[in-house]
Structure 1
Amino acid sequence: MTAAAGGTTVKCLVWDLDDTLWDGVVLEGDDPRPFPHVPRVLRTLDERGILHAAVSRGDHDTATAHLEACGLEEWFCAVRIGWGDKSAAVRRIAETLNIGLDTVAFIDNDPVERAEVSSALPAVRCYEAGTADRLPERPEFRPEHVTAEAAGRRHLYRTEWRRRQAQEEAGGDRQEFLASLGLVMEVAPATVNDLARASELTVRTHQLNSTGLVYSEDELRGLIASPDHQVRLARLRDRFGDYGVIGLSVTELTPRDAVLRLMLMSCRVASRGVGGLLLNHLIRRARAEGRRPVTHFVPTAVNRNMLVTLRFAGFTQVEADPADGGPMVLAVPADHPVPESTGHVRLLARDA
């Protein structure tokens, strides 16, 4: 393996095809069969919520037709076949899936291809094709939480792939496309049945994340039962299907303030404008309860967009940056207007 990426769990394994996924080269007239271990590896990682994508050299239609003929097409949420640098294709896969490069792994039989990807994308972990059967045993392919939603993650991303294709085909105004989706976000208090997914979100979500706090299921169970805390989950759906649980907020209540200790949104919906809608709802609820909306923010290398989202919602810094490295403290002024909706997303609030 090359280009190690610390302890980050892999979210997507990008496969080369010829002599990696199957034994032979499609364009050379072969009818290559998948290596015996491949179906097991695909299924095992998929059940853990790890996505599969393909980047390979060759003709796109020929390769995808062979994937389908082998009964493997359904496992892949993104496929890019062509003749350019594989690093560019891997980068495009990450952008399409809206995940960080440090959560992407790449497997290829050709050491030159692995070296090219590793050099251009040092955050991507690269593996020899001969190690494929042992990947499920590696710690980076064993996420701490495996929920029912994690096991269905492939279907969510395949649906997202169709959304992106529809957007490319539609062209024109982006707001018009968003309005055409029929987006509906439901916000409700978390229940004990939501604990595994809520905890998983705190582990997996890094970009739209206010403080980076990680909560175990037991910790969340205690917060749900606490009269001084509110834990909410946000779900999203549109005309293509259900995104599932995509947002989480943890609020601490004091006599004066409603302090947002953690607010996060899945990177899958970063472009849907729902982060601001959730914040607006939390601000309105805090005011309705007679409390000042306050949030903490801990800057990281990847969550700058979260700070932008907070500022657009009306949060402004009220305390100087702490010298001890603690969180920034921001609050919404009492005279700041809070819109009811974003215009293209309908909100269903179950805790109103």
Structure 2
Amino acid sequence: MRNSMTFLEAKKALRKVAGRPALPMRLLGSGTLETVSLFCRARFAAEDINLAVETLPFGTLHQHLTTAADGISEVALVLPWDLCGATDWRSGAGYGIAAIEDLLSAAERTATALAERCRGVVVYIDAPAFPVFRNTHEQKRLTSSLRAIAEDRGACILPASFFSMSAYLSSGEPIAGAHLAETADAIYELCRMAGERGGKKVLVTDLDNCLWRGIVGEDGPDNVSADAEDSSFRYFIYQSFLKRLEADGIILAIASRNDADLARQPLSRGNMVLGIDDFAAIEAGYGTKSDALRRISSDLNLGLDSFVFVDDNPIELAEVENELPEVVTVAFPPHDRGLPVLFDRLNNLFHRDSLTEEDHLRSEFYRNRKVFVEQANRSTSVEGFLRGLDMKLEIFSKTPETWSRAIQLINKTNQFNLNGLRWSEEDVRDVLDRGGHLFTAKLSDNTGDHGEIISFLIDNENIVRAFVMSCRVFQRRVENAFLLALSDILPTEFSLAFEATERNTPLSMFIDDPAFAIGESITLCNLDRFRAEHPEDLSFFKIELSDAGI
């Protein structure tokens, strides 16, 4: 959208989406927001979205925050006085102003409520605040602190020039006419990024003029570069960014139109930030990129909806978008100035609220899985292969001090997942306080340490509420050994709150077993029958019960 779009042009832009199903959105703020809502509708119309915007009556923002959410997506457009009413020009500070610490504490509560209500989609106009304190240092601290409070909660900060004092005093409209389109742009970008935030696990990158400068098939492996100098600098920065992603548990892979041996050579020389061992999968050949991504997905046993694909070629990106719409495609920029935008988007796609020890080791886990698959393909006997792995399964009973990875695993696992339900710490705490248990398991073998790979939550009524296992340890019969190892702790018969989802076929296959009786609302398991059906599976593992609540 052009920043100079006029009111009439905005109205005209809405015609292209007239009659289409409306997407409801509520714009929160204490000012009059009808005009900016029109520009928001025009901005979304440019993306073929018919946005239906609802605004609040003037001055009712705080009252609205006390009401229950009704399912409509909400976006906040706030000013300093929305966080601290004493700074509002229309009302003035009055008398008996509270201490600055009290004002800031109240502002933090409001900002937190807005961020939670709007899923982080908050725009903060850094408008001048009415002078509250005669002490100019305290006044400066107040205004800068209000901005920092908003920014700390993920708000997009727009400069003071976006605010119109005359419009606000005369009509309650806070946004300057010259910046209405830019404000709508900011709101659209925040909404788009919120929809993409987090959840991605795999970054697949192209090579030529993307991971390095040059074309390896034409320039040769010795003449491509990613050095911290001249025209190679941005490739060095890109590789450095990917290295940081890998350290935080993001899986890296390659999809390239090159001969396989030729594609690997520059990464094997040891003079780049990234090397061969940093990539869990490398697909090089002359087929389509979408086919390469499918093979990587199969090799890693991860869904394509967890993939992000980066390429400098718009034709390759379009092919993947058309064939694999579940994959997020990102263009590698042709100029250095595009790097901040690229990294902002990738950072958003791979957002994590917090990182666990398991996250930092995830790339190593998937490299170990690759070794496992290669060994399995060479084996002639499944049982002999499993015995040769020297597998060790450690089982733990978790407490609030040690459960962070267990809850993360429940909320991130989709395939081997009992019902797809997500659990908060408060929900898990309630189950444990009522006499339930949260068991987990760690696996290691001669291919390496696989970390914490199972979470199992059972309540005081012997109903399993959550049972998940990481897809990277499939085909080892770990799930069978886990239940058998707990047979002295679990009752002989217990129930599972199973519910089929679009993604949990592996769990469905697990309970498609004579030891399970699948009902409409509950699934029963008989451990004696399960042991009879799987008499050897426990023998493949060395079992250690570490504080398992026996």
Q: Per the shorter chain, which TM-score range?
A: 0.7 to 0.9
1:147 is matched by which residue type in structure 2? T
Indicate yes or no: 2:467 matched with 1:263.
yes
Q: Determine the structure 2 residue equivalent to 1:199.
A: 407
Deviations 1:130-183 (A, max 9, x none): 166545433321023311210121111112222222333x24233332222112
Two-structure CA RMSD over aligned residues (Å): 2.5
The change in CA–CA distance for 1:126 and 1:337 in structure 2 (over 3 A counts) is closer
Match of 1:72 among 274, 293, 306: 274
Indicate yes or no: 2:383 matched with 1:181.
no
Identity over aligned pairs, percent: 28
Q: Is the 8 A contact 2:216 2:224 kept in 1?
A: yes
Give the structure, 1 or 2, with the largest relative contact order (CA under 8 Å, sep 6 or more).
1
2:441 is matched by which residue type in structure 1? A
Q: Determine the structure 2 residue equivalent to 1:345.
A: 541
Indicate yes or no: 2:369 matched with 1:167.
no
Indicate yes or no: 2:538 matched with 1:336.
no
Indicate yes or no: 2:248 matched with 1:48.
yes
Shift of 1:294: 0.8
Indicate yes or no: 2:224 matched with 1:32.
yes
Match of 2:202 among 2, 9, 12: 12
The change in CA–CA distance for 1:122 and 1:90 in structure 2 (over 3 A counts) is same
Larger strand share, 1 or 2? 1
Give the Cα–Cα distance (whole angstroms) in 2 for the partners of residues 106 and 283 of structure 1.
44
TM-score, length of structure 2 as denominator length: 0.56
SS of residue matched to 1:61 = helix
Indicate yes or no: 2:478 matched with 1:236.
no
Deviations 1:86-131 (A, max 9, x none): 2111111111111111001111111111122222222111111116
Q: Determine the structure 1 residue equivalent to 2:357.
A: 148
Q: Is the 8 A contact 2:332 2:342 kept in 1?
A: no
Q: Determine the structure 2 residue equivalent to 1:324.
A: none
Q: Determine the structure 2 residue equivalent to 1:316.
A: 517
Q: Determine the structure 2 residue equivalent to 1:94.
A: 297
- Counting matched residue pairs gives 333
SS of residue matched to 2:211 = coil
Give the Cα–Cα distance (whole angstroms) in 1 for the partners of residues 417 and 527 of structure 2.
24
The change in CA–CA distance for 1:25 and 1:94 in structure 2 (over 3 A counts) is same
Shift of 1:219: 4.1
Give the Cα–Cα distance (whole angstroms) in 1 for the partners of residues 543 and 287 of structure 2.
43
1:247 is matched by which residue type in structure 2? I
Q: Is the 8 A contact 1:208 1:266 kept in 2?
A: yes
Shift of 1:335: 6.5
Q: Determine the structure 2 residue equivalent to 1:297.
A: 498
Give the Cα–Cα distance (whole angstroms) in 1 for the partners of residues 454 and 528 of structure 2.
27
The change in CA–CA distance for 1:67 and 1:183 in structure 2 (over 3 A counts) is same
2:543 is matched by which residue type in structure 1? L
1:306 is matched by which residue type in structure 2? L
Q: Is the 8 A contact 2:414 2:504 kept in 1?
A: yes
Q: Is the 8 A contact 1:17 1:54 kept in 2?
A: yes
Deviations 1:277-297 (A, max 9, x none): 223344552226xxx311111
1:72 is matched by which residue type in structure 2? L
Q: Determine the structure 2 residue equivalent to 1:325.
A: none
The change in CA–CA distance for 1:302 and 1:65 in structure 2 (over 3 A counts) is same
